């Protein structure tokens, strides 16, 4: 099991919950921080002292206050640390469960596990820590579909653009004109209509409004 872990989390109660979970796993050295920049400095100092951290557990979102921060989010912190310390493992522990956001974070390969905060969050976090220690990756059950091959091959940025315009209340002819103005191809009305029908089939939606509702529930828009 990991012996030295650092937690980046600005909410005291959550920070304490993660600390207790790590103690339950027998992790002996645990550092807690509330700012991404402080985390970066501590990781750097530990590496210089020859006693590097083995695992970073970080939230994604940190509330702004009077202090200037070079790293304002957990993913920006993780990406920066990965470049300097590629052997250090990273787990994201966040309330964010939108598929597109999860995909954008996981696809580059800098994050080893993504755990969603919630009723079972700490139990899943313990499982993720064990998996990562064994050299495996981990995703909370509610976001695993975000990384499925089907999600990658069937839904793309073009589709998301169409769904977003539907969510704004645009008609299909209006979406066609919007796509043409933005230089997004194919933008013909028939192309837009065919893609919307295809998306309805993929999501088993009864109509465009139902499609938008399903996409929102899945965190796609």
For residue 81, the domain's CATH number is 3.40.50.2300
Contact 92, 44 (CB under 8 A): no
- Indicate if 136 and 171 belong to the same structural domain: no
What is the percent of the chain where pLDDT is above 70?
Answer: 95
- Indicate if 189 and 210 belong to the same structural domain: yes
- Whether the per-residue pLDDT at 113 is higher than 70: the answer is yes
Instruction: Please identify, among 130, 147, 164, the residue that sits at the C-terminal boundary of a domain.
Output: 147
- Indicate if 112 and 161 belong to the same structural domain: no
- Whether the per-residue pLDDT at 33 is higher than 90: the answer is yes
What is the spatial distance between Cα 91 and Cα 139, in angstroms, rounded to a whole number?
10
Single out the residue of 49, 51, 70 nearest to residue 6, CA to CA: 51
- Indicate if 159 and 78 belong to the same structural domain: no
Q: How confident is the model at residue 150 (pLDDT cuts 50, 70, 90)?
A: low
Instruction: Please identify, among 147, 175, 191, the residue that sits at the C-terminal boundary of a domain.
Output: 147
- Whether the per-residue pLDDT at 152 is higher than 70: the answer is no
- Indicate if 138 and 159 belong to the same structural domain: no
- Whether the per-residue pLDDT at 147 is higher than 80: the answer is no
What is the spatial distance between Cα 215 and Cα 100, in angstroms, rounded to a whole number?
11
- Indicate if 81 and 159 belong to the same structural domain: no
The dihedrals phi and psi of 114, each to the nearest 5 degrees, come to -130, 115
Q: Per the structure, how many domains does the chain have?
A: 2
Q: How confident is the model at residue 35 (pLDDT cuts 50, 70, 90)?
A: very high
**What is residue 158's three-state secondary structure?**
helix
- Whether the per-residue pLDDT at 106 is higher than 70: the answer is yes
Query: Which residues span the domain enclosing 184?
Result: 155-217
């Amino acid at each position: 099991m990991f012996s030295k872990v650092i937690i980046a989390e600005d909410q005291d109660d959550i920070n304490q919950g993660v600390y207790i979970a790590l103690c339950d796993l027998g992790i002996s050295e645990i550092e807690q921080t509330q700012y991404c920049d402080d985390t970066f400095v501590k990781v750097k100092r530990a590496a210089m002292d020859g006693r590097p951290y083995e695992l970073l557990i970080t939230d994604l979102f940190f509330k702004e206050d009077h202090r200037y921060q070079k790293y304002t989010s957990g993913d920006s912190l993780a990406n920066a640390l990965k470049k300097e310390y590629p052997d250090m493992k990273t787990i994201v522990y966040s309330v964010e469960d939108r598929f597109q956001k999860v995909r954008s974070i996981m696809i580059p390969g800098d994050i080893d596990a993504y755990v969603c905060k919630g009723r079972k969050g700490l139990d899943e976090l313990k499982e993720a820590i064990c998996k990562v220690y064994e050299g495996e990756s981990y995703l909370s059950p509610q976001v695993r579909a975000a990384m499925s091959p089907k999600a990658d091959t069937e839904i793309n940025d073009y589709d998301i653009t169409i769904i977003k315009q539907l969510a704004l209340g645009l008609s299909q002819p209006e979406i066609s004109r919007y796509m043409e103005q933005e230089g997004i191809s194919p933008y013909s009305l028939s192309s837009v209509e065919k893609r919307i029908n295809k998306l309805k089939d993929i999501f088993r939606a009864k109509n465009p409004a139902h499609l938008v509702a399903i996409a929102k529930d899945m965190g796609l828009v």
